[in-house]
Structure 1
């Protein structure tokens, strides 16, 4: 009886994993509106009714996907950051940035799910699909600015940003973690994020293919310039 139950659980886990893989594949090939339980069932050779035994609704599936994908990204960048506790700020920032790009390149469908076009009609649960993971990534980005701030303060201290310029929920995440980071530092964190995210997005969506055969070199150069804009010299990586 135990053997039968274990086999049943294993088969269910395997089918659940395949459903999620097929959903991401459909999104990658046909866009976010291609994620439907019927389409997934058809792709897997299942009946529509059978797949509802794994996910009651399409939104349940999308929420599960977003939570798992976002958590995997948060784990990747947190691990990279935690691995350089005593390193110079430039090395820590570059390590985090490379971890972000490496994860995105290894998981392009997941990147598009959490940072690309929204799934049409999807209603996230209250508080978001992956609030903990989103908090971790957001805090990590602020950590980049906080690490650089002692070197960058003289460059950005006269910024006109005030606390009222930022969303309250964002400040609720950042200010307790980095109490010494002023409004100008929060704005700097957003600019850092924009530069890193922008170039990686262009690469993931294929917009650099006709412009360069060395997107990694382009990212490396952009990252070096980013670090210099923070008042510190980049590390050789």
Structure 2
């Protein structure tokens, strides 16, 4: 969660100055509300999230909490931003830990970071990628940026590989329908990508399949005891998806 989400809007000049004691207190209170909100999310689920219950655990009357977070929907938005930011930070750190030119290893690092965070924070992962919360619509202007950090990182890996001549369309790829080709061309233009349309489509498949594999594990869709080595299964899936996207990697290591 950023300072902008926790405090009233300020000018750019004001943002560069130290926070006042009142601003620091407000920032800390909102951070405490988000922390307790995450605890309630893990215990009760998103649909049962209650600002009154959060206020009770914070040790204040509910009317006091509403001065900082105006509604349950606002709390859900703050939890989304917080979780997307934490996931994005961990993915960025994992990718940055791999040399720039090792595109396949960067892809593996990205996927493993998503899985590790999801398994550690299943309630937050469910809020981001599970069933929609009844009656809640996330404000796109506040959540789209944080929510697209992982795909932007993935796009960066594939584009760098393409510019370096390390990304290739596998033999036997099906031809793109014209309407889909137009959509993919628009994506290439929006992000100024060197990746050809066919590999953009394959990158989308790698992206959606990565989160599908993570969701199956987090939500126990494989069933109990089906796989005794889930990490190895996931690494194998990542290696296959890297090949789908046009990268060459090994599943181990």
Task: Give the alignment's TM-score, normalised by structure 1.
Answer: 0.79
Equivalent residue for 1:21, pick from 19, 31, 35: 35
1:234 aligns with 2:247: no
Identify unmatched segments of 5+ residues in structure 1.
none
- Which residue pairs with 2:239 in the alignment? 224
- Which residue pairs with 1:139 in the alignment? 152
- Which residue pairs with 1:37 in the alignment? 51
Q: What CA distance in whole angstroms lies between the structure 2 residues aligned with 1:231 and 1:55?
A: 45
Deviation, 1:94, is 0.9
Deviation, 1:21, is 2.5
Judged with a 3 Å threshold, the aligned counterparts in structure 2 of structure 1 residues 112 and 142 are, in CA distance, closer, same or farther, namely: same
- Which residue pairs with 1:155 in the alignment? 170
Deviation, 1:208, is 4.2
Preserved CA contact (<8 Å) 2:51 2:71: yes
Q: What CA distance in whole angstroms lies between the structure 1 residues aligned with 2:124 and 2:79?
A: 8
- Which residue pairs with 1:47 in the alignment? 61
CA offsets, 1:114-161, max 9 Å, x none? 111222212333x34322223432222223443555555341684333
Q: Number of aligned residue pairs: give it.
A: 231
- Which residue pairs with 2:14 in the alignment? none
Q: How does 1:1-237 map to 2 (within 5 A)?
A: 12-125=26-139, 127-147=140-160, 150=165, 153-155=168-170, 158-161=173-176, 164-165=179-180, 175-208=189-222, 210=224, 211-229=226-244, 230=246, 232-234=248-250, 236-237=252-253
Q: What CA distance in whole angstroms lies between the structure 1 residues aligned with 2:89 and 2:23?
A: 27
Q: Which moved more, 1:14-23 or 1:64-73?
A: 14-23
Judged with a 3 Å threshold, the aligned counterparts in structure 2 of structure 1 residues 174 and 45 are, in CA distance, closer, same or farther, namely: farther
Where relative contact order (Cα < 8 A, 6+ residues apart) is larger, the structure is: 1
Q: What CA distance in whole angstroms lies between the structure 2 residues aligned with 1:92 and 1:83?
A: 8
Q: Secondary structure in 1 aligned to 2:88?
A: helix
Q: What CA distance in whole angstroms lies between the structure 2 residues aligned with 1:166 and 1:79?
A: 33
Q: What CA distance in whole angstroms lies between the structure 2 residues aligned with 1:134 and 1:157?
A: 34
Deviation, 1:220, is 1.5
Q: Which moved more, 1:148-157 or 1:47-56?
A: 148-157
Judged with a 3 Å threshold, the aligned counterparts in structure 2 of structure 1 residues 13 and 218 are, in CA distance, closer, same or farther, namely: same
Judged with a 3 Å threshold, the aligned counterparts in structure 2 of structure 1 residues 99 and 106 are, in CA distance, closer, same or farther, namely: same
Judged with a 3 Å threshold, the aligned counterparts in structure 2 of structure 1 residues 154 and 172 are, in CA distance, closer, same or farther, namely: closer
Q: What CA distance in whole angstroms lies between the structure 2 residues aligned with 1:18 and 1:203?
A: 30
Deviation, 1:188, is 0.6
